[in-house]
Each structure stands twice: as C-alpha cells, then as structure tokens.
Amino acid sequence: MARKPAAPAPDIALAMPLDVRAMNLIAATVGVLFLAGLVLAGVQRLAGRPFFAIASVRIEGDLQRNNVSTVRANALPQLRGNFFTLDLGQARAAFEAVPWVRHAVVRRVWPNHLVVRLEEHRPVALWAGDEGSDRMVNLQGEVFEANLGDVEDDSLPEFSGPDGSSAQVLAMYQKLRPVFSQLDADITSLALSGRGSWRAELDSGAAIEIGRGNEAEVVERTQRFVHTLPQMLKRFHAPLETADLRHAEGYAVKLKGITVAAAPTGPGSNSNNPQAAAAAAH
C-alpha cells in the first residue's frame, strides 16, 4: 500500500521581538540626528566664513532730509551678524531710528549684500506739546520727533489736541482750510480740546471758536459763518478779531473797535441784511 506524501509544513511568520524593533528604531533615530548634526555644523561653519559678512548696503528711497552718508553713519554701527545671522527686524529698527525716517524695508541680496528702502516723514504741521519738545505731524497724521531747525518752511500750521488725535486734527484741517480760503484767510493754528471743541486761528490774527460736533457739522457751521461774515465786515469797515460759532442760531463776533456783533445763520435768517447782522453791535 502506497504511502501518501506528507503535506508541506505551513509558513509561520516569526514576529520580531519588541525589544529588537525598539533598538532598530533608536538606532535609526540616532543615525538621522547624527547626520542632521553634521549638516548643521557644516552650515554653521560655512555661514561663519568671512565671505558672507555684509559687504555692502545700498540705500534707496526719496531722501530729502537725510543723505546716504548720514543714514550709514547712524544705522550701520547698530547692525550685527552676517548674511545668514543678521536679524532683519533689528536692522529695520536701526534704520527707523535715524532722524526723519518713517519706515524702512530691509532685504538680503545673495551672497553678502543688503538693500534698504527708506521712507521719510513729510511734515505738514507742528504739534504743540511739552515745552521744548520738537514734534511735528506728517502726511499720515502721525506725530514724530525731529529737529525743527531742519524745516525750511516757516508757514507750517500748529496743531494741538489730546493724545492720539493728530490724525483727526489733520483731517479737520484739510476740510476747513478751503472753507476759510473763501475769506482769503489761512489757518495758522487748529486745536481740539479734551471735550471735543474746535478752535482755529487765522493768519489775519482772528481767533474762531467753532465748537463741537462731527466733521460734517463743524464744516457746515463754519461754511455758514464764512458765507455771512463779508456783509458784516463791509458794513463796519473793521477787521475781525474773534468769532464764536457755538450759538444755536447764529454766531457772535468781535471786530476791531466794536465790542460785540451777532449774526443769525439759522433757517429764515437774512444774511444779506447788514443791519440784521449787526443787531447786537455795541
């Protein structure tokens, strides 16, 4: 009787012991870390070579208050590091600390150069503050410190107001200036009080108490005053000294040689009647 062939033995996968797998993982991790350390050491060694020291700094931008030599003399001694290690944030701060510089953008140019684009402050007004504080307002309505002796324009107006109100004062100035120009007058001073009341001084020496309100209300009130004032000045042939626009239905003025005059500006007022305009003259 023939014997049956023996059945093949089933494949049995032998599981790798847990400790062996853990050792292999640790060995692989150590190997990766070792290679990473070698790469990092190589990069640091390469970055530290004199070839990557900052060789040149190019200054760009429309400079009117500074020149390139002044900027370099003030900012370059503050720079630390080479092409790889230089902190761009600290470099930007060093350039923005230069007088008259409003904003700086610093970028690297391979392999060892810097390009710096500067924006300077453009003054539009003086900012009244503590005595001896040389502060101005720029086109963006920001207060900045600079040497007033560097400003050739003696006609800059003076602004004042609570902290943080410089942009608001500049915006109101830009609205009111064309209104007063209808009187052939210009604003030399504009002040915002802590209670939100506006006061303007003109190049004629006249002081105008405009009062409180939002921008549209203040401009409208001033426009009514400017529209009716010429009839009063023509009637009395006297220059304006002060005006108070804080009245509900009109304004009060003081003319040179005349104590007080008043004019209605509300609905139904007759602004073309100089006798009505001078009803309260003394």
This prediction's pTM: 0.77
Model confidence over 191-238: pLDDT tens digits?
Answer: 999 999 999 999 999 999 999 999 999 999 999 999 999 998 888 889
Domain boundaries, the chain: 50-120, 123-277
| pLDDT at site 39 | 57
| Cα 173 to Cα 162: distance, rounded to the nearest angstrom | 16
Cβ contacts of residue 188 below 8 Å, gap of 6+?
157, 158, 201, 202, 203
Share of the chain above pLDDT 90, in %: 62
Backbone angles phi, psi at 126, to 5 degrees: -85, 150
Q: Are 104 and 90 in contact (CB under 8 A)?
A: no
For residue 279, pLDDT over 80 is answered with: no
CB count, 10 Å around CB of 145? 14
| pLDDT at site 273 | 46
CATH number of 50-120: 3.10.20.310
For residue 36, pLDDT over 70 is answered with: no
Q: Are 250 and 201 in contact (CB under 8 A)?
A: no
| pLDDT at site 33 | 72
CATH number of 123-277: 3.40.50.11690
Model confidence over 229-273: pLDDT tens digits?
Answer: 999 888 888 999 999 999 988 899 999 888 655 566 655 555 444
Model confidence over 6-16: pLDDT tens digits?
Answer: 555 555 445 55
For the record, the structure tokens of 119 come out as 């924006």
For residue 164, pLDDT over 60 is answered with: yes
Q: Which of 95-99, 269-273, 275-279 has the highest mean pLDDT?
A: 95-99
Backbone region of residue 237 per phi and psi (left: phi > 0; alpha: psi in -120 to 50; beta: other values): left
